[in-house]
Structure 1
Amino acid sequence: MKKVAVLGSGRGTNFLAILKRAREKNWNVDFLAISDKAYSGFIENAQKENVKFKVLPQKRDLLNEELLEILKDFSPDLIVLAGYMRILPSFVVNAFKGKMINLHPSLLPSFKGAHAIRDAYEYGVKWTGITIHFVTEELDAGPIIAQFPVIVREEDTLESLEKRIHDVEHKFYPQVIEEVLKVF
């Protein structure tokens, strides 16, 4: 059985999409959900779906050390960032080098950072999308695994574009995770 740790901070919709695909395709996976927020959709979804979870301490000086210990104890084959809104320190990234992937809501290397969808929309791009990449010490700069484009329509609002990008995330991130697990 493979082990997958999923880190999230927000609503947990990508996490639900991953779990749905894992169940539909009968992945032989033991999941652990880890969050920096005790009261989040991510943790609520873990509870509803009967997935083991851990909540990191709120003291910043303890958070990353605790994360490293939890990950070492779990010994995951793969670590999946699914809306985890903290920058991981090098000692965590390097401890799991090549075993950690992230989903970013733009076609990297364009529009790095926390507000990628808004930044792309305000810039006026005609195409944006998602990038799935390995996590490295440099923010949103690791080797790209896959990218999926999303056209920006004339009638798009920021909200409609965000929804369409999230739909693409929910469709393709679980598929890519499934393929990555085949080689781990």
Structure 2
Amino acid sequence: MGSVAVLASGSGSNFQAICESLAAGPHVVAGLLCDQPGAPVLKRAEALDVPWALVPYEASSDGAKQTAEGRMESILRAWQPDIIALAGFMRVLSTAFLNAFPRMIVNLHPALLPNHRGLNAIQRSYETDDEVVGITVHFVDDGIDTGEIIRREPLARREGETLAELEMRMHELEHRTYPEVIQSLLAELDALCGKDGPP
């Protein structure tokens, strides 16, 4: 049996999709870390009976970031997840934090990397003439959306589609794909480590 911890900042729709995907077992969601007080994802965690912790960044200084990441590291050590999934976590993690969890942190990016790295990727994809857009799940390194790609999932554009319509279809694709990738990674780790699920 494997486990995933989720880091999120906002509404938590991908967090909920992950929880619902893992609900049947054998893998579990170890917990949720959130940096934003009052974020809707916290209510989702409570409703789903998933352990959660709020770790706000008290200021924008490097010291505040170091303090917050230190707290997150301690909580994650206690939860002992096999994978850490970023699901709309709107912070850039430090190299020190990434090194504390080597090849464990994955991210979902709403574009076909290496295209459209960074923020507002769906809008920037929409503004191109590309006939195919999509999403990417990748390992996190100390660059911006530059880590090793795990899976890219394309999505064909529709003629006359609005940005809002494309965003909706992209989110539907995210909610299917990200949980599938996490399930696959956890299964691979189970096989590699010889972990046994329920009889």
TM-score range, shorter chain: over 0.9
Equivalent residue, structure 2, for 1:146: 151
Higher Rg of the two aligned structures: 2
SS at match of 2:159: coil
Q: Deviations over 1:110-140 (max 9, x none)?
A: 0011210011112332211000011111110
**Is the contact between residue 34 and residue 53 of structure 1 (CA under 8 Å) also seen in structure 2?**
yes
Distance in 2 separating the partners of 1:124 and 1:54:
42
Query: Structure 1 residue 183 and structure 2 residue 182: aligned?
Result: no
Amino acid at match of 2:52: F
Equivalent residue, structure 2, for 1:19: 19
Q: Shift in Å at residue 74 of structure 1?
A: 2.1
**Is the contact between residue 15 and residue 82 of structure 1 (CA under 8 Å) also seen in structure 2?**
yes
Aligned residues: 183
Amino acid at match of 2:2: K
Equivalent residue, structure 1, for 2:173: 168
Query: Structure 1 residue 64 and structure 2 residue 63: aligned?
Result: no
Q: Which stretch of the first structure deviates more once superposed, 106-115 or 71-80?
A: 71-80
Equivalent residue, structure 2, for 1:90: 95
**Is the contact between residue 5 and residue 30 of structure 2 (CA under 8 Å) also seen in structure 1?**
yes
Q: Percent identity?
A: 38
Distance in 1 separating the partners of 2:172 and 2:3:
26
Q: Which stretch of the first structure deviates more once superposed, 65-74 or 167-176?
A: 65-74
Q: Shift in Å at residue 17 of structure 1?
A: 0.8
TM-score, normalisation: structure 2: 0.87
Distance in 1 separating the partners of 2:142 and 2:170:
25
Mark the runs of 5 or more structure 2 residues left unpaired by the alignment. 190-199
Amino acid at match of 1:70: I
**Is the contact between residue 133 and residue 144 of structure 1 (CA under 8 Å) also seen in structure 2?**
yes
Equivalent residue, structure 1, for 2:197: none
Q: Shift in Å at residue 30 of structure 1?
A: 4.4
Amino acid at match of 1:46: A
Query: Structure 1 residue 53 and structure 2 residue 58: aligned?
Result: no
Q: Shift in Å at residue 57 of structure 1?
A: 2.7
Distance in 2 separating the partners of 1:41 and 1:125:
33
What is the RMSD computed on CA atoms of the aligned residues? 1.3
Equivalent residue, structure 1, for 2:195: none
**Is the contact between residue 97 and residue 136 of structure 1 (CA under 8 Å) also seen in structure 2?**
no
Amino acid at match of 2:45: A
Equivalent residue, structure 1, for 2:10: 10
Q: Shift in Å at residue 152 of structure 1?
A: 1.6
Equivalent residue, structure 2, for 1:137: 142
SS at match of 1:123: coil
Amino acid at match of 1:101: V
